[in-house]
Structure 1
Amino acid sequence: MQRQAIDQVLQWKRKQREARACYPCRQRKVKCDSGHPCRTCQKRGHPHICAYDIPKTITPRKRQAPRQSAARIPTSTADTAAPSSARSDAASPSRASQGSPSSTDSRRDPDYVFSGENSLVSIIRQQDPDGSMAREAGSVLGLHNTYESYPFIDLKTPRDRWCALLDILPKRAEILKFFHHYRTSAYPFNPILVDVDGFESAICTFLGSHAAGEFSDLHRISERWSSDQSIGQVSLILATLASGAHFSDLENPKRSEACRDLARRSFQALRLANFLFRPSLEIIQALLILGNTLQNNGQSDAAWALLGTTVRLAQALGLHTERGMAHLPDGVRTKAQRLWSMTVWQDCLLSLCYDRPPIVSTTPWQRNRNAMADRDLSFIDVMGFLCQLGLDIAKLQESEYGDPGRSVDLLTALDDVYTRGQPHLLARENCKCLQDHLEHLALRMHVSFCVSVLCRPAIRSVPISANDPRSCHMRSRARESLVNASQAFLDFQTLSIVPLRTWSMVHTVLSSTLLLCIWEETRNDNECRDLQQKVITVFSSADPTSPHNSDPADRGQWLSARHIRALVALRNAVRSAPFQPAKEESNDLQSAEHHNRSMAELDQFVVPDTAVLPGFSEDAFAPGFGDYFTEGAFNATTDLSPVTYLDSIMNVPLFNISEDEPWM
């Protein structure tokens, strides 16, 4: 080897051994974690002066700058070019975050951990406005995380993390291709982003950095995009792109691959941002969107488990209570409240679908009661109040039959919230644009689903009390809600792909039509049977974005295993039900021909093979299925209500823990 090459290797090794501390930490001789900015500068309130490559030779200045009371400003030319602007940046929240890809919670103390009023940390914090004693007490009591980086990945240096980040960054083509689909198809009906305008500005900043070549050099770490907060923003961008890919116009196999790849990269960015130890508002939003994407891809159990982690991280930030956000500016508190309401939104829908107890609470963030009296509420506002009532419905369902009086009160509250919506939400005749129509139909589906769940105790093989007017009213509302949910889905899917790609809407229509099919009051009704045939025809047809000659097995890849079971059960029920022409039909032959065509369409439905749904069998999941569709009442030997039978299909466990083998 040449001498010059050997010297270069020795010099490179020497640089590796050098302590990488920022200039302010070197001046004060304090510990530095080599962050951008480091934690010490963040704690001392001057992250804007955290710099590393400061020349050793300093040119003496002729005029001494005035001393700063808050922090000493470095005297190098690189950091003192504009001391007045630096002071104004520190004083102005908007300018302090200028140039950062995210400013949602840039002023939040990264070591802040929410604790209740009776905790020792909160008591000390009340006596210590600076918060230093509270941080020390939390560290002594073991109430703080100590890992600076995610401990479950092997990244030893900041350069290793930078290289790992460059491997997963979204490409310009991916942003331009998929974000539009997220913005138009996913966000309007699940607005998890608390500041969509600011997020779009962050995407513009990212694209500008990409065009400027900030991500082209493996050996040059960008200070703007290498911090935990910035990497959390990258994860949020990737999460929205994964959701957008699911709603894109790609063919099904390519669409699934793109969605999974973007979701995987988003999870990797969360690990690089140390999400489990340093959560932020961006990280909570990314987790919610990823959970919703998993859910829409049929992985609802995984979405349920991920939601539990998301809720705990949000509570660690104090998002679940107004007192936990009291130390932040008003704008951030508003975003925190909205983010918690979106967490409630996700938990409410999953809890009602699974009939599982919710884990969130709305008490510390009670919505303004005066807003309940207002009219012309938007779709998002109505859904916020609806989800609050949905949590009460989920808690009411924990008892076997519930409280009839409480059920009637909740039903009245649901009607009251619905009637306070904007005109286009109440009547389709008031819709003036496509978005008005879509919001109207989406709200009809959600309200109808909540009503049907609330009235399910009345949907039983034998009424609790035939002479009870409340029971009769609940059964009438149950029938009305099931029909409305099915009809709203049919109208919705003619205008958009959103209901066919949204797990909660698929669950709503399949559970509603299946109950219509097995409930003794509706299974012989011609209107209900017509709705059932139309719903199955929609699901039996090929994916609208797939070619006509696509593999039939691909048609079920966007359905969960439970939904496929419900769809097959519905198909078998409609196919085996006797044909009864409507009384108003003047041409029975024409009606019979229409029925035969519908049955032929149902027979064309192909259940996905074992590669899509392992171990699936049409006859294995519903023993004695034919007994439910004989003339008259249900088979007395089974003693199953329609709701119980629906649960046996939709909530069948996918993993039998009783067959688990011991390790030893």
Structure 2
Amino acid sequence: MNVSQDEADRVLRLKSRERETHACYPCRKRKVKCDGHHPCRTCVRRKHPHICSYQLRGRGGPSSPLTAPGSVRNARSPEGSVGQNIDVNIDADAHVPAEAGDVRPDDASKNYVYSGDNSVVSILRLRASGANDSVAREVGSVLGLQNTFSSYPFMDSKTPQERWHSLLGILPQRTEVLKFFHYYRVTAYPFNPILADMDRFESDLCTYLNAHANGDLHDPEKITERWATDKSIGHISLLLATLAAGSHYSDIEYPQRLELSTDFARRSFHALRLANFLFRPSLDIIQALLILGNTLQNMGQSDAAWALLGTTIRLAQTMGLHTERSTIHWPEYVRTKARALWSTIVWQDSLLCLCYDRPPIVSVSGWPLDNSFVERHGLSYTDIMHFICRVGLDILGPEGLGITAADRGIEYLQHIDRVRQKAQPHLHSRENCTTLQHHLEHLALKMHTSFCVSVACRPAMKQAQVQPPHSDILRSRAKGSLIDASRAFLDFQALSVVPLRSWSMVHTVLSSTLLLCMWEETRNDPEGRDLQQRVIDVFSSSDSRSDDGTMSEQDQQWLSARHIRALVTLRAALDREGDRSAENENAATGPHPVPFDGNFESYLEMPNAFDISPVTYLDSIMNVPMFDFTQENGFL
């Protein structure tokens, strides 16, 4: 009798389904003895009787809360290495609220902890097989390398009921979502696309609004399990973070706008605590932290944003987002989301580090550029920004042996010029802009690239002279970048509130105008002086200066403390520029430059204040210590 292979496979599958299950799912999973009761003695002893089930199937069976689609566990790389413990709720981040029945018990959703190939955890997993596999899976906890708190320990909400009450108190209302998410979507997101999957987020947003309208999120006595899980609360924290950013860019008057943005941010942080963000990070939680940090920057709190970004990066590395290898067995759409999210983290860290000239935390070695990137044309605004931020990391990196700062600067300029030539037409030339968004993207990209160029050229602006032939190139490009940044800002703010509400753009234009004012090659340039005055006019109206020369409250709504100091210094410098130029000529052979002592007004009165490096002077203005660390000896 001839039997086809398909028929044989069909019979084998049927026979396989007929096999009776004698152990519950947790005992089968761990390969331990089960007494067949419900709940069994083993599950009771291990304190998870609620997941003792005899209906759940393994990986090949139907989807269940423990084996939902997209959940990948204990995956080994093709090379045989097990540098990853894939025990994370991948599906939870892919589409958080949409799966109504996908409620995963907290005890069953252990957090994924990334471990490199040379760690003891990875080596034991690699060698584990059969009965030892369960031991290898738990080795992270045994070695103290895995979090064990199932809820955030630093808050009062302990029981599920308390947690639900706390959640209901911070939920975004329908009117808040409809009003402020629009501002985020249209104004903030296009120029800083932190959300890794906007389409899916908007779909989940509709799910939330429907649940809110149906009354699922109103009764404090009835917990809606679908919305009480860590993953759903993490998604709510992300929604609140977008509302915080959106309200910052809204058309509301400043005092109310600041209050709203701060309130949304506070509620988002509280949702993060309810979701146990520090112990159970997820993709939604990482995105929420990034948006909150960026909002803090835009409020002028860049030091706090810097500290928060460090925590965010470490949590992302805990999940393994920093390397492609750790995501090799994730579903493709989740891998794409993870890659986009890590690129966004690089974006945030690079720009903030360039502004402060501080060492970055991130690395791009784990996610190499696609080979097609260097060959592609028609690159978008986001594509080019990701590349420029990689160049920024190179600028901040250690100098290579035998390579001068000037040589590195020329190399960076070549990289930037090469990628700009491959941009979409409207990014390459403003004459090709046909829509408002085209104009805004063109100007935003010009500001960012000009800032990066100016940083790359700063060796030529320092006191130590750069030797030809590089000196002429670097100094010429430096001057052009400072002028281009100021022009782009002035054109940009005429079309949108984005540059006036974005900390990085405020920093770019003020640093550019300050350098134009202080650098000997541009100090007396008529075009540069005109740009400086126009920038000052944008930030301060004619009646905004107080009697003591400080900035009014109207100006402070835009600027951080460092930016206010920079603007006051720039205004004072312009007022005294005429007298100072004559004094500097007479004092060319005078004493050495006087070091900056923190007193801007007295320092500006000194005849040789501008004889120091303009970059050094800029740093002295923008990076005055916020704290007096000399007073750390006493208790009070």
What is the TM-score normalised by the length of structure 1?
A: 0.77
- Unaligned regions of 5+ residues in structure 1, if any? 1-23, 50-66, 73-83, 545-550, 581-617, 629-633
Relative to 1, partners in 2 of residues 1:176 and 1:338: Cα closer, same or farther, differing over 3 Å?
A: same
- Superposition pairs of residues 508-657 of structure 1, within 5 angstroms: 508-541=508-541, 552-578=552-578, 620-627=599-606, 634=608, 640-657=612-629
Relative to 1, partners in 2 of residues 1:99 and 1:302: Cα closer, same or farther, differing over 3 Å?
A: closer
Q: Is the 8 A contact 1:441 1:492 kept in 2?
A: yes
Q: Is the 8 A contact 1:297 1:560 kept in 2?
A: yes
State whether structure 2 residue 126 is matched by structure 1 residue 126.
yes
Q: Is the 8 A contact 2:499 2:506 kept in 1?
A: yes
Deviations 1:195-236 (A, max 9, x none): 111111111111111111111111110111100011000000
**Inter-partner Cα distance in structure 2 for 1:25 and 1:338:** 47
Relative to 1, partners in 2 of residues 1:68 and 1:623: Cα closer, same or farther, differing over 3 Å?
A: closer
The answer for the alignment partner of 2:586 in structure 1 is none
The answer for the alignment partner of 2:231 in structure 1 is 229
Relative to 1, partners in 2 of residues 1:517 and 1:533: Cα closer, same or farther, differing over 3 Å?
A: same
Q: How far has the Cα of 1:418 moved from its partner? A: 1.4
Aligned to 1:361, what secondary structure does the other structure show?
Answer: coil
Relative to 1, partners in 2 of residues 1:88 and 1:260: Cα closer, same or farther, differing over 3 Å?
A: closer
**Inter-partner Cα distance in structure 2 for 1:356 and 1:170:** 36
Within the candidate set 212, 215, 222, 1:213 is matched to: 215
- Superposition pairs of residues 8-407 of structure 1, within 5 angstroms: 27-29=39-41, 31=43, 41=51, 70=58, 93=70, 100-101=96-97, 110-128=110-128, 132-396=134-398, 403-407=405-409
Relative to 1, partners in 2 of residues 1:129 and 1:155: Cα closer, same or farther, differing over 3 Å?
A: farther
Q: How far has the Cα of 1:120 moved from its partner? A: 1.2
**Inter-partner Cα distance in structure 2 for 1:397 and 1:450:** 17
Relative to 1, partners in 2 of residues 1:299 and 1:32: Cα closer, same or farther, differing over 3 Å?
A: farther
Q: How far has the Cα of 1:39 moved from its partner? A: 11
Relative to 1, partners in 2 of residues 1:215 and 1:542: Cα closer, same or farther, differing over 3 Å?
A: farther
**Inter-partner Cα distance in structure 2 for 1:32 and 1:243:** 46
Q: Is the 8 A contact 1:461 1:520 kept in 2?
A: no
Aligned to 1:358, what secondary structure does the other structure show?
Answer: coil
Q: How far has the Cα of 1:555 moved from its partner? A: 3.0
**Inter-partner Cα distance in structure 2 for 1:96 and 1:371:** 29
Amino acid at match of 1:645: Y
Relative to 1, partners in 2 of residues 1:539 and 1:32: Cα closer, same or farther, differing over 3 Å?
A: farther
Q: How far has the Cα of 1:409 moved from its partner? A: 1.0
Deviations 1:117-170 (A, max 9, x none): 000111222244896333311111000101110010012210000000011111
**Inter-partner Cα distance in structure 1 for 2:412 and 2:191:** 24
The answer for the alignment partner of 1:590 in structure 2 is none
The answer for the alignment partner of 1:80 in structure 2 is none
**Inter-partner Cα distance in structure 1 for 2:134 and 2:66:** 24
Amino acid at match of 2:331: P
**Inter-partner Cα distance in structure 2 for 1:539 and 1:565:** 13
Relative to 1, partners in 2 of residues 1:563 and 1:516: Cα closer, same or farther, differing over 3 Å?
A: same
Deviations 1:403-450 (A, max 9, x none): 222221111111111111111001000011011100000000000000
Amino acid at match of 1:184: V
Aligned to 1:168, what secondary structure does the other structure show?
Answer: coil
The answer for the alignment partner of 1:487 in structure 2 is 487
**Inter-partner Cα distance in structure 1 for 2:65 and 2:536:** 63
Q: How far has the Cα of 1:272 moved from its partner? A: 0.4
**Inter-partner Cα distance in structure 2 for 1:111 and 1:167:** 27
Amino acid at match of 1:557: Q
Relative to 1, partners in 2 of residues 1:25 and 1:374: Cα closer, same or farther, differing over 3 Å?
A: farther
Relative to 1, partners in 2 of residues 1:469 and 1:154: Cα closer, same or farther, differing over 3 Å?
A: same
Q: How far has the Cα of 1:357 moved from its partner? A: 0.6
**Inter-partner Cα distance in structure 1 for 2:452 and 2:138:** 47
Please say which of residues 84-93 and 474-483 is displaced more in the overlay: 84-93
**Inter-partner Cα distance in structure 1 for 2:307 and 2:503:** 16
Amino acid at match of 2:566: A
Aligned to 1:488, what secondary structure does the other structure show?
Answer: helix
**Inter-partner Cα distance in structure 2 for 1:532 and 1:68:** 69
Relative to 1, partners in 2 of residues 1:619 and 1:121: Cα closer, same or farther, differing over 3 Å?
A: closer
**Inter-partner Cα distance in structure 2 for 1:269 and 1:89:** 24
Q: CA RMSD in A?
A: 3.4
Aligned to 1:432, what secondary structure does the other structure show?
Answer: coil
Relative to 1, partners in 2 of residues 1:90 and 1:314: Cα closer, same or farther, differing over 3 Å?
A: closer
Q: Is the 8 A contact 1:562 1:649 kept in 2?
A: yes
Q: Is the 8 A contact 1:456 1:478 kept in 2?
A: yes
Aligned to 1:373, what secondary structure does the other structure show?
Answer: coil
Q: Is the 8 A contact 1:507 1:563 kept in 2?
A: yes
Relative to 1, partners in 2 of residues 1:40 and 1:542: Cα closer, same or farther, differing over 3 Å?
A: farther
Aligned to 2:358, what secondary structure does the other structure show?
Answer: coil
Relative to 1, partners in 2 of residues 1:653 and 1:579: Cα closer, same or farther, differing over 3 Å?
A: closer
Relative to 1, partners in 2 of residues 1:34 and 1:148: Cα closer, same or farther, differing over 3 Å?
A: farther
Amino acid at match of 2:238: L
The answer for the alignment partner of 1:631 in structure 2 is none
Relative to 1, partners in 2 of residues 1:204 and 1:398: Cα closer, same or farther, differing over 3 Å?
A: farther
Amino acid at match of 1:269: A
**Inter-partner Cα distance in structure 1 for 2:181 and 2:45:** 35
Aligned to 1:577, what secondary structure does the other structure show?
Answer: helix
Percent identity between the two aligned chains: 56
Relative to 1, partners in 2 of residues 1:25 and 1:356: Cα closer, same or farther, differing over 3 Å?
A: farther
Q: Is the 8 A contact 1:319 1:336 kept in 2?
A: yes
Q: Is the 8 A contact 1:325 1:333 kept in 2?
A: yes
Q: Is the 8 A contact 2:427 2:438 kept in 1?
A: yes
Please say which of residues 385-394 and 127-136 is displaced more in the overlay: 127-136
Aligned to 2:397, what secondary structure does the other structure show?
Answer: helix
The answer for the alignment partner of 2:634 in structure 1 is 662
Q: Is the 8 A contact 1:543 1:555 kept in 2?
A: no
Deviations 1:537-591 (A, max 9, x none): 00013999xxxxxx951331231000001111111112222399xxxxxxxxxxx
- Unaligned regions of 5+ residues in structure 2, if any? 1-35, 72-89, 545-550, 581-596
Relative to 1, partners in 2 of residues 1:39 and 1:234: Cα closer, same or farther, differing over 3 Å?
A: farther
**Inter-partner Cα distance in structure 2 for 1:365 and 1:39:** 42
**Inter-partner Cα distance in structure 2 for 1:292 and 1:395:** 23
Q: How far has the Cα of 1:71 moved from its partner? A: 9.3
Q: Is the 8 A contact 2:406 2:466 kept in 1?
A: no
**Inter-partner Cα distance in structure 1 for 2:515 and 2:387:** 26
Q: How far has the Cα of 1:265 moved from its partner? A: 0.4
**Inter-partner Cα distance in structure 2 for 1:71 and 1:372:** 40
Q: Is the 8 A contact 1:101 1:205 kept in 2?
A: yes
Q: How far has the Cα of 1:69 moved from its partner? A: 5.0
**Inter-partner Cα distance in structure 1 for 2:109 and 2:630:** 47
**Inter-partner Cα distance in structure 2 for 1:202 and 1:477:** 46
